[in-house]
Structure 1
């Protein structure tokens, strides 16, 4: 499933020093990956102690919070590694169908942690676990049930994925970004390319929040689709949107080595707009007032992107080519 398309960029001026990329890695990306791996490991431990739905929700929420800080990065090992951690949007409903099949057949693969990685990505990661522990069709399972075994399998698989993703960045890809322009670096031929790669991820994240996290449930004016909202079953839809904007903002601030007052103000407007939304799961979008508030939030997110283009992209002579929002 294609999440983020490329953003064509042209550079008219000299680009940033590699120290900016170092700061982004050392102060945001690598600590974020470490925090997510720790949160996923804690979720696995909690699941081993009590795998019932209600018991898992706090640790699952903490893991999702940690994921939002680095989840929209889709380069290097995250380009494919993130797909089975966060399989969304699920436009064809593969997750409920796959989970239903596993439960109906009592598929023994859940008892083999190594084999579970071969299961469809629709039954792996944060969203599969959300459905299992929040959807009434799945969540009412007992301690010794197949549902509990399935929760343990998904949590264990998630912890393994988080650890491997962190390791792949720590041991290889971070150095690829740091050594942009080195003779043996065939991915980033100069320092500017590494900077632009991260800058592009920031813009893509903001696009994804505006068009998918907000746009999908908004649908058309006369046909809203609230159940297409991200993580609506757990009531995280609004939280995910705001945290994703905050993460993009945080990465932008460490990637640039100058103040970003317009962007800071734009992010403040996102928080202000979010504070006026009544339903954090966006299920009130069928109400005209609810839709209007979502539109205000969506416009505020787009305002963050515009401010970043002015304060960061334009300053460095980076101009967008075509729109990055070509995801499914």
Structure 2
């Protein structure tokens, strides 16, 4: 709390970086407010009726509100985001963790305050994705039903923790970048670069992971490596992630972004041609081509943002967004 007060005081000691307040006030902080609201509704729904058919709509609403925040992985979200959305999961840790809980009938599901101590693979949105949409799990089974509720309640608590951490401390650190008391961001430019990095790295992740992983190779496509394929959210998540990048880019920019907006139109047009929302048909050459085109358009969106937002910031096109510097 003392740190938060010091950083908040720094708001008056140094000018905020242009675009940083807008990114916080228009995109990030309202995003966490919505995520808290929808995960709270998800938890209440599961507590009243934890069967898949009842919980699924609230799950989708919560997932929708997470996607604009999913690739903002700085500050509290640097580690906090992992237990909200544990993916990719090449080694199948999520089914192993869930199956272990079910096999042992672990009483942790009746102790919500303790569920935060279980493996992150058994927490968050992807655990719910499996419990609600994989036929291997029966949400009508009493223990599985309790497990659904435990994951939902834990997710709502994670949302509240992240929201508070951003609102109470980290947002102040970004706003007061360059203030003498601010040891996190030594200049306004550092704060701006930190947020800009999230835009580019998020689009990299979408192209390389959300689209590249299920594509695999032509000889060996990997459709079941798609994100949230069981709930048929794979395409939906790509679009939400791209929309989020466009929104955050606009918040950071001081001018209009015609190239970025045109590139986003192309992303939507390419997405409209993808037939299977879970990317499960990409072993078909034509279906695969449509997903490849979508990946190209996402990369074009990244290039447009780099040119229209990064270049005015003095960040070279060859900047590696995953480095964070």
TM-score (normalizing by structure 1): 0.92
Q: Which residue does the alignment assign to 2:59?
A: 60
Give the deviation of 1:58 after TM superposition: 0.2
Residue 141 of structure 1 is aligned with which of 139, 147, 171?
139
Q: Which residue does the alignment assign to 1:162?
A: 159
Q: Give the secondary structure class of the aligned counterpart of 2:316.
A: strand
Give the deviation of 1:325 after TM superposition: 5.8
Residue 228 of structure 1 is aligned with which of 221, 225, 229?
225
- Report whether the alignment pairs 1:264 with 2:248: no
Residue 298 of structure 1 is aligned with which of 292, 295, 298?
295
Task: Return the alpha-carbon distance in structure 1 between the equivalents of residues 319 and 180 of structure 2.
Answer: 30
Give the deviation of 1:17 after TM superposition: 5.9
Unaligned stretches of 5+ residues in structure 1: 1-15
Q: Deviations over 1:250-278 (max 9, x none)?
A: 01101112100000000000000000000
Q: Which residue does the alignment assign to 1:44?
A: 43
Contact 1:208–1:325 (Cα < 8 Å) also in 2: no
CA RMSD of aligned residues (A): 1.3
Task: Return the alpha-carbon distance in structure 2 between the equivalents of residues 130 and 216 of structure 1.
Answer: 18
- Report whether the alignment pairs 1:107 with 2:73: no
- Report whether the alignment pairs 1:312 with 2:309: yes
Q: Which residue does the alignment assign to 1:124?
A: 123
- Greater relative contact order, per chain length (Cα 8 Å cut-off, separation 6+): 1
- Report whether the alignment pairs 1:213 with 2:210: yes
Q: Give the secondary structure class of the aligned counterpart of 2:207.
A: helix
Contact 1:217–1:227 (Cα < 8 Å) also in 2: yes
Report how many aligned residue pairs link the two structures. Answer: 309
Contact 2:197–2:322 (Cα < 8 Å) also in 1: no
Contact 2:16–2:175 (Cα < 8 Å) also in 1: no
Instruction: Decide which structure has greater helix share.
Output: 2
Contact 2:270–2:297 (Cα < 8 Å) also in 1: yes
Contact 1:211–1:325 (Cα < 8 Å) also in 2: no
Q: Which residue does the alignment assign to 1:279?
A: 276
Give the deviation of 1:141 after TM superposition: 3.0
Unaligned stretches of 5+ residues in structure 2: 1-14
Q: Give the secondary structure class of the aligned counterpart of 2:228.
A: coil
Give the deviation of 1:129 after TM superposition: 0.6
